[in-house]
């Protein structure tokens, strides 16, 4: 944990803004000194991996970092082992997980981040940093080997966390779905990471970045809010 450098972002794009615009300065700070990142584009479903690589590169041009997509590599796990830094993009978490498992990337990334290599993930890319992908919002459009993910952190993230219950919606709220998860997984914390927020782990210290609070769920406790600056060591 001491060596890990993780930046786990809820969403890539705030409403009405350009792609990856709001977190790019934080990404630049997190990747200071890095010249090239290995990018995992496998959450893309309705557009190509090459297109995804271009989209991220366009934003990373602003911070002078080259983006190299792992789909171009003959040996993806080796590319991770040699990476200066790793970025995992958002999209469908199940599609991402299936491909990462097929290529042995979960364990390769865990070993790499434990050695201090910086990791940046947004949305599905944050989900896969958790022990499992069970708190994703996505539809299981493909079937991975299992729900197991990288396990770089001990808690679960629910990205794009919403408090709202839209008028006329008769299904479960996000909170009710997470309460079902903690009932079935009593030892696990779940954090509801709202839009425009991110978690940063550096030097063994976890911090919330963003203007909105994060919601904490654990079986046997009433859900509660923490804000930027609050002590999050209980999650570690």
Catalytic residues, by residue number, are: 123, 138, 160
Contacts of 91 (CB under 8 A, 6+ apart): 42, 43, 44, 45, 52, 123, 124
Q: How many CA atoms lie within 13 A of 181 on its CB side?
A: 25
């Amino acid at each position: 944990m001491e060596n890990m450098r993780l930046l786990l972002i809820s969403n890539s794009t705030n409403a009405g803004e350009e792609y990856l615009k709001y977190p790019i300065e934080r990404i630049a700070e997190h990747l200071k000194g890095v010249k090239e990142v290995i990018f995992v584009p496998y959450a893309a479903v309705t557009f190509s991996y090459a297109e995804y690589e271009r989209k991220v590169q366009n934003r990373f041009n602003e911070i002078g970092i080259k983006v190299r997509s792992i789909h171009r590599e003959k040996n993806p796990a080796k590319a991770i082992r040699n990476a200066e830094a790793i970025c995992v993009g958002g999209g469908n978490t199940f599609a991402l997980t299936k491909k990462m498992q097929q290529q042995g990337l979960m364990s390769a990334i865990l070993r790499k981040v434990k050695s201090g290599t910086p990791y940046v993930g947004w949305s599905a890319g944050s989900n896969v940093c958790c022990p499992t992908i069970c708190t994703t919002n996505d539809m299981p459009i493909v079937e991975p080997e299992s729900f197991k993910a990288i396990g770089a952190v001990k808690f679960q993230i629910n990205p794009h966390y919403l408090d709202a219950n839209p008028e006329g919606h008769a299904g479960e709220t996000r909170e009710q779905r997470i309460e079902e998860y903690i009932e079935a997984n009593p030892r696990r914390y779940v954090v509801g990471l709202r839009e425009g927020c991110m978690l940063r782990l550096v030097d063994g210290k976890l911090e919330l970045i963003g203007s909105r609070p994060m919601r904490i769920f654990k079986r046997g406790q009433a859900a509660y809010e923490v804000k930027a600056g609050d002590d999050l060591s209980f999650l570690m």
